[in-house]
Amino acid sequence: MPKTIERKPRVVRGTTVAEVVAAVGQARATGEHLVPRGGGHCFAGRSSAGEVVLDLTGLDAVSVAADGTATVGAGARLAQVYDQLHANGRALPAGCGPTVGIAGLTLGGGIGLIGRKYGLTCDRLLGAQLVLADGSVVETDENREPELFWALRGAGGGQFGVVTELRFATVPAPVVTRVAADWVVRAPEELVAAWQAWAPGTPDDLTVNLALISQPGQAIRAVLAGAGLLAEDPTRELLQELSDLSGTPVPFQLRGGLSLRDLKRSFADPPDAPHHTTLRIRSEFFGHALTDGVLDALLTRLRAGGGPRHLSFTAMGGAYNRIAPDATAFAHRNERFLLEHVARRADPWIDASWTTAHADGSGHVYPNFPDPALADGPTAYHAENLARLRTVKNTYDPGHFFHFPQGL
């Protein structure tokens, strides 16, 4: 477990912008390292890595204007955001974890079950308010501090200042069909080959993600989870393509007529799920399908025993890829899928599995899944946008008051 998670920093609470300004000023005066925390779900422990943790959970107000613009406090969690948007007939593409912080999710990108239709969470960002290292309060959008606004859309949280408020262009609340399947898979190679050829290229109205799960003494299970912005029958017709490609019927279970809020609730982790601090994750984006040799080696390692271990494939494509890589700080606009390797922290399988898959990887890593084991984290997270981001960093935080390992 990284030392950053084991530290016991001093926690101060910022329930108003004035309190955030005061906390930043106090940390500067004492020379203490301050980090903001909105959700606390960072696998690398960045939200606990300072001598002072600025807890923003008191800044959790959510309001929706008549034109659908949502103003959200940086301490709000996804469950709060979805509830308030649902009450106003609106929605936002974002993740499933109800306690995940909206600020951290947005600032690093924001992949979700309706994102192939509506884009990343950061693609819906209209503007933000943040407190800079010198204590000044800045409003940023396309017209005010546009380079800072560009950087906030995908560079990752805590890089330039303490974000206190975000403004989003929401979408009309959709009616969705829940897609799920869970079964013992006899030929995982054929299933993965079919999924990676199919899922990233399906119509934008469908997102289906795949996980292969290995438990000690058990056969590999396949779990599919997704959503269709279509009714059950047209969703089922699209899903039949995966069964045809994989050569075996996939036992899909569909449930139509759901609100996005209820869909997200249905995919939330159960209460007995392992806490994120007990797990380790390594991941990478892939611009093309895994080659046969790499896929065979990857699944051989998964079958080798031990666990629990997960290989999780998330479909990209769609709206994610219709934005230029330099239009926002999120550079990963040409990828087909994201592959995560997840297991207990001490399990050496994670590094071996990641290294095996890396032979086919793009070298790019999702900023919201920071990986301390990377040889060059900044290049992996930001690709061709790194130089521009460093210029923004030196403009708005020239003393690097806000810093963490592998940051800008």
Say how far apart CA 27 and CA 130 lie, in whole Å: 16
- What is residue 45's predicted lDDT score, i.e. its pLDDT? 59
pLDDT at residue 307, rounded to an integer: 82
Which pLDDT belongs to residue 1?
Answer: 33
pLDDT of residue 116: 98
Q: What is the mean pLDDT of each run of 10 residues along the chain (408 residues)?
A: 54 96 96 89 65 94 98 97 98 94 97 98 98 98 98 96 98 98 96 98 98 94 98 98 96 97 88 67 98 98 90 98 98 98 96 98 97 97 98 98 92
What b-and-e string marks burial along 301-335, b requiring 16 or more CB atoms within 10 Å of the CB?
A: bbeeeebebbbbbbbbbbbbbeeebeebbbbbbbb
Tell me the whole-structure pTM to 2 decimals.
0.94
pLDDT for 306 equals 82
Report the distance separating Cα 151 and Cα 327, nearest Å.
Answer: 10
The whole-number pLDDT of residue 277 equals 66
Nearest to 94, CA basis, from 230, 256, 267, 339 = 267
Residues β-bridged to residue 182: 223
In degrees and rounded to multiples of 5, residue 70 shows phi and psi of -105, 130
Secondary structure string (H, E, C) spanning the chain: CCHHHHCCCEEEECCCHHHHHHHHHHHHHHCCCEEEECCCCCCCCHHHCCCEEEECCCCCCEEECCCCEEEEECCCEHHHHHHHHHHCCEECCCCCCCCCEHHHHHHCCCCCCCHHHHCCHHHHEEEEEEECCCCCEEEEECCCCHHHHHHHCCCCCCCCCEEEEEEEECEECCEEEEEEEEEECCCHHHHHHHHHHHHHHCCCCEEEEEEEEECCCCCCEEEEEEEECCCHHHHHHHHHHHHHHHCCCCCCEEEEEEEHHHHHHHCCCCCCCCCHHHEEEEEEEECCCCCHHHHHHHHHHHHCCCCCEEEEEEECCHHHHHCCCCCCCCCCCCCCEEEEEEEECCCCHHHHHHHHHHCCCCCCCCCCCCCCCCCCHHHHHHHHHHHHHHHHHHHHCCCCCCCCCCCC
Domains and CATH numbers, the chain: 175-376 (3.40.462.20)
